[in-house]
Amino acid sequence: MRAMSKRVIGIFTTGEGHKSIAEAIKDGLGSDYKSEIFFDEEPLAKIYLPFYQYFPKLFKVPFKLSSYGDSLNTQHKIFQLRYQKKIEGFFQKHRPDLLLSTYFMYNSNLERLQDLTQTPFINAVADPSTPHPVTIANKAKINLTFDKTLEKYCKETYPNAKYQSTGWFVRSKFEEEYDLRKVRKKLGLDQDKLTFLIASGSEGTAIIMKVLPILIFSQQPIQVIVACGSNQALYSSTRALQKIIERSENTGSLIPLKFTPKIHHYMQAADLVIGKAGPNMLFESIATQTPFFAITHISGQEDGNLDIIRKYNLGYVEENILKAQKLLKKIIERPEELNRFKDDVSKMKTYNQQSKEKLLQIVAELI
């Protein structure tokens, strides 16, 4: 009977951006395969949260210290012990024909399973430019990389590992076609105002709020949406500011937004997305054909994301708050400035859309 059923792909993931990549990969596999998801919420990831929200520049220190040989070996041993029973239990239950990881902590166990069962293992490198060495799976059949530049970067660490550049995996709902005015009307937004989306990520980061003053006190009528993610304090403070603005004579509007699965509609409605240069946020914005303004990033891990924005002309990079405010003022006064990104943003969207087709080819060859 198994020969008549669909081949099973085991997708191994965790929370935050890793989950988004896994969902995009599942979208790409579509009905051709049966996808089974291994999901484990990693408590250690909470250590990352203060860096993410308040001290992104300080993350460079632990990033560098944990990137060397002895440290990498120790990390792999810890991860293997931590997840071995859970992953083996998942494998026994679902008997996948292929293993696909979006999270580095599972890779040592998946490499081991590949050796024991001859089940091919694919690793999706979850950073598009400057990943931590631990995220590369030396023994995987293939490491999926964003582009040839990342492939070259990874080879400096593991020259004998196998790589294939695919583009970035973006969830299908971000790639759908849309009518700007209809989307704004559906969301209850003004259809004609210049619209900014300040996107803080799923957990929310307070650093991006430093650009708010230049936006909400603009003389031009604009609307500013603040996606607060799961950060209740950020939402509450933005909501309080919204009430003050509504009682003033300001012609602009401020719209605080709690965590929503419809964030793609707000990206579609925006003329510019402003936020931390995380890869999913960046490429999801590009998938809606909206340019991106990076005003912060996680040092070390996301350094290369800023280079991607510059190299491919996807938007702006300015982490100095005073300079960022000055640049935003210029954009408000001359919105046509945003048109210079249109063609390159469209090219990047098209490049990333190929990732799912490339993945299907890779999977078909392996199983």
Q: What CATH number is attached to the domain comprising 56? A: 3.40.50.2000
Residue pointed to by tokens 């990342």: 150
Same domain, residue pair 102 and 36:
yes
The whole-number pLDDT of residue 174 equals 97
Take residue 273 and report the two structure tokens written for it: 């997305």
Is residue 130 domain-shared with residue 275, that is, in the same domain?
no
pLDDT digits (tens, 9 = 90+) for 164-174: 999 999 999 99
Q: Which residues pair with 12 in a beta bridge?
A: 38, 101
Question: Do residue 253 and residue 167 come from a single domain?
Answer: no
Q: What is the pLDDT of residues 124-165, one digit of tens each?
A: 999 999 888 889 999 999 999 999 999 999 999 899 999 999
Cβ of 309: how many Cβ atoms within 10 Å? 22
Token code pair at residue 290: 């909206």
In this structure, what token pair is assigned to residue 80?
A: 């293997």
For the chain, the helix, strand and coil percentages under 3-state DSSP, each to the nearest 5: 55, 15, 30
Same domain (yes/no): 103, 240: no
**What pLDDT sits at residue 133?**
84
One domain for residues 185 and 320: yes
Residue 233, pLDDT above cutoff 50: yes
- Whole-Å CA distances, 25 to 8, 129, 139, 322: 14, 19, 21, 39
Say whether both 43 and 142 belong to one domain: yes
Residue 280 and residue 150 share a domain: no
State the residue range of the domain holding 274: 173-350
Q: Token pair of 321, please?
A: 């708050």
- Residues 187, 331 share a domain: yes
23 and 77 assigned to the same domain:
yes
Across the chain, mean pLDDT equals: 87
* H or E element in which residue 219 lies: none
What confidence tier does 214 reach under pLDDT thresholds 50, 70, 90?
confident
Mean pLDDT of 73-79: 75
The pLDDT tens digits of the residues spanning 311-343 come to 999 999 998 988 998 999 999 999 999 999 999
* Structure confidence at residue 56 (pLDDT): 54
Looking at residue 282, its amino acid is L
Residue 92: half-sphere exposure toward Cβ, Cα within 13 Å:
6
Q: Which two tokens stand for residue 63?
A: 């990033």
Q: Is residue 166 located within the same domain as residue 177?
A: no
Whether 61 shows a pLDDT value over 50: the answer reads: no
Pairwise pLDDT comparison (230 vs 278), residue with the higher score: 278
pLDDT band at 216 (very low <50, low <70, confident <90, very high): confident
Tokens of residue 335, six digits: 């919105």
Give the number of domains in the chain.
Answer: 2
pLDDT score recorded for residue 65: 44
**Taking residues 195-201, what's their average pLDDT?**
85
Chain centre distance of CA 182:
26
Judge if 248 and 297 occupy the same domain: yes
Residue 344: both structure tokens together? 């390159």
Task: Specify the pLDDT at position 2.
Answer: 47
d(CA 331, CA 166): 33
Mean pLDDT of 175-183: 96
Q: Is 197 found in the same domain as 318?
A: yes
Structure confidence at residue 1 as a pLDDT band (50, 70, 90) = very low
Name the pTM for this structure: 0.88
